[in-house]
Amino acid sequence: MVRDVLKIVIPSILLSLVGCRTAPLYDVNAAPVVANEAVTLPDAEKAIMRAGAGLGWQVVSRAPGQAEGTLALRTHRAVVDISYDTKTYSIKYKDSSGLEYDGTNIHSNYNGWIQNLDKAIRSQLSLL
């Protein structure tokens, strides 16, 4: 009896664990810049840099209104393009390794990292 139950339960658990590994790619598209005062482009850049650094991202300015963020954890690496102006910002997937990206789905940890970066950017912008 116990063996019969284990034959059903163990494969179900293993399948559920495998199924949770990837999820549809999450991007941030034109999120509003909400601040106490008018935001300048340099202000937005500094807030994005602080937000990323606080979470272990290396954020490098590529041009006015454009930055690239890289997060490397163990064997995983995620690279995003961050575009911004004084009204909105976006975080878009650029590249990765070790995250099983197949053009649609990616390791679910990636989405958590992007959601955390989004929250940190919003928080830093709100302090302006």
Listed by start position, the domains of the chain span 23-126
Query: Any idea how long the chain is?
Result: 128
The string of pLDDT tens digits covering residues 13-44 is 433 444 458 999 999 999 999 988 899 999 99
Q: How far is residue 37's CA from residue 102's CA, in Å, rounded to a whole number? A: 41
DSSP code for 65: T
pTM summary value = 0.83
Q: Is 31 exposed, middle or buried (0-12, 13-18, 19+ CB in 10 A)?
A: middle
For the domain made up of 23-126, the CATH class stated in words is alpha beta
Q: Determine contact, residues 28/90, Cβ cutoff 8 Å.
A: yes
Q: How far is residue 72's CA from residue 82's CA, in Å, rounded to a whole number? A: 17
The string of pLDDT tens digits covering residues 74-102 is 999 999 999 999 999 999 999 999 999 99
